[in-house]
Amino acid sequence: MGKRSFDPQPFLPLTPAMFQVLVALAGREMHGYAIIKEVQRRTDGKVRLSAGTLYALIKRFVQDGLIVECDERPDPALDDERRRYYRLSDNGRAVALAEAERMEEAIDQARARLLTRKPRPA
């Protein structure tokens, strides 16, 4: 039952939003609004999360043990209001990693079949 026996495969594939939330939390603990901002920043605004979508994901990730809720504490950047912070668990890290590998493999396969844009001349 240890962490070593954890199999990330049943969680794959992740939707872009799921993947981005896990990746965002890989760096540090964050509250909801910060996750939204981080995802938006990392994807150049291509993945925009709404509050509803985000918290549905958070609920699922918490239930599945991919992220962990840390204690509630104030966010100095936001009027010191108390917020709930989340961080990536080891299992969550394993899932995000497995998803990244899966995508990498897919890209490799596409490249092997020349299914990719020719590198533009510099």
Q: Which residues bind other proteins (CB under 8 A)?
A: 31-33, 36, 48-56, 58-59, 78, 81, 83-84
Specify the residue, 84 or 111, whose C-beta has the smaller distance to other proteins.
84
Distance, in Å, from the CA atom of 111 to the CA atom of 65, rounded to the nearest integer, reads 35
Contact 121, 31 (CB under 8 A): no
Q: In whole angstroms, how close is the CB of 84 to other proteins at the nearest point? A: 5
Specify the residue, 33 or 102, whose C-beta has the smaller distance to other proteins.
33
Distance, in Å, from the CA atom of 43 to the CA atom of 45, rounded to the nearest integer, reads 5
Count of other CB atoms within 10 angstroms of residue 21: 31
Specify the residue, 83 or 102, whose C-beta has the smaller distance to other proteins.
83
